[in-house]
Chains A and B, each alone.
Chain A
Amino acid sequence: MAKDDIRDRETVTPADVLGGPTRRRGLTDFMPRKSGKLLAGLVLVVGTLLFAFLGPLFTQNPRNSDNPALLPPGSDGHVLGTTSLGRDVLAQLAHGAQGSIMVGLVAGAIALVLSLIFGILAGYVGGWTDEGLSAFTSVMLVLPGLPLIIVLASFAQQSDALQFMSRSLWLVAIILGLTAWPGAAIVLRSQARSLRVRDYVAASRVAGEKPHWIIGVEILPNLLPLLAAQFIGAVILAIMNEAGLAYLGLGPSGSITWGTMLNEAQTGAALTRGAWWWFVPPGLMIALFGCGLSLINFSIDEVVNPKLRTAPAAVKSVRKAAKAVAEDEKKVEA
């Protein structure tokens, strides 16, 4: 009997059973689980980001028009061919990725901050503050998005006050951010309204916490997965809307994004000339990047709503059971 047996002790502490103090768990519990979905999303997004920030090191100047026009892919060292102005499509694609992602992130951040202010403040404070903020949110929500963006973009172009940033990448990003927040704000408001009446919020009020601390430390952390999902959603929306704006000719002038590439392809009659390598790559990049972000978003949704995690498995097991029953019946018949 060299080792002392846990059964012989008078008191057994959790530490004896669990082997030492338990690890402090914080954010890890709120991270999405590893799954095929998450992995595919991460591969797409990280791949695009690497391409955007490392690609330009290896390509030529995207504005260099010394190349022969409309070279098909693979010819003369131009992996994705050239445009009708003789610009290298791959170089444009890599620089355009930077522009599009910048617009997406800036607009997403603006939308996030605004939805936090309008959503959580309205939901937590309540009363007349809530009425006012919600009314404004609702008005913003029903304003048709794209037309408003078009009006704002063309107004900014004309306005003297905004001349200094006339139709820059930043202006487009800010406009997109200013129009993307109301949906998220409404979701956040209802969440905050639900959280503010929880006992743990009441308990921290009784302990003497100040409202800003309650919002920041007691309520916000519990909304993290939701905020992450909304931020990613806003980024996707902004990239898509930027492409839409640019396609209509209202995109950022002077910078390259996937949207401006599509616009140039359209004005350069790429479709009628059969220059598919001009418009397919930017379109595909938008689709793939959006797809990757959406896949990550779905995995985050599973953190917020664990039912989603088991839903596919449940459907599968039902199908399996139905199959087994059908086979049994067949056996009985035979």
Chain B
Amino acid sequence: MSEISAPTTSTLKIPQAPDKLQHPMTDFLRTERLPHIWCSTCGIGTVITAFIAGLQKSGLDRNKVSVVSGIGCSGRAAGYLRLDSFHSTHGRAVPFATGLALGNPELKVVVISGDGDIAAIGGNHFIHAARRNMNLTIICINNFNYAMTGGQAGPTTPEEANASTAPFGAYEFPFNLPYLAESSGAVYVARWTALHIRRTTKSIAEALLKPGFSFIEVVSPCPTLYARRNRLGSGLDLMRFYHNSAKIQHGADTRDIDIDYQKEIVVGKFIDKEKPDFYTNRDQFLSKKLGDKYIPYRGPNGH
């Protein structure tokens, strides 16, 4: 931790949290790495809190849960979680996680990454993992821009929004991520904002327990770049905006839930359907075809 000496003004008093009490999530955090790198009023930390709460709620064995991140602000998520955590390359969190999940079917593998990582450079991997109904939970933190590199336009930047590579406003048509996930084959699709912490937590717990490919988009404030460039105030102002503009509509047709610039954001759980997950499907198919000759893959502990 960097040493910053406190100003020596006499009026400064620094109250301390009582020693014996610990944040209930301490056990899930690499506290030695805190404070994290995310800006003040950024929502990523809130999503991480919801993830830990969702994981606790799911009742899964935390030692059998792995987190994979890509690159970018959200890509740093893995580095703060005291789980088996992997910080892979830009866009490759999903295929890395696919390898991890296939390498040991006992694991629950979660990808926590950003909109650029998952939907732009990793877009092809994302749709194919969904197509396979791969045993993955994807939490995509959508802040509408590439924040780590300075606020460039991305695959979800709404039309009209300003970005450093769209200085006159973005004019490309953005992805509607829940629609993309659903049409690619995801069995669980939800969208929330960083303000909907309890509902995000519930969705994460549900997704973790759902076999196959589950996808949760969490719209999150980026104060330093997206909000600043678009004169939207701080992250708190964006949270207020979500408060006023998010409309909960469970089961909404994902075709109708595009996010337009500073307009209504439809949130909710859109898809929760049954379809054989990759492992189950592969096992059943191959044992049908090969009979006794089939030796199922049981992971590194299996043989």
| A and B associate in one complex | no
Chain B residues in contact with chain A, CB under 8 A?
Answer: none
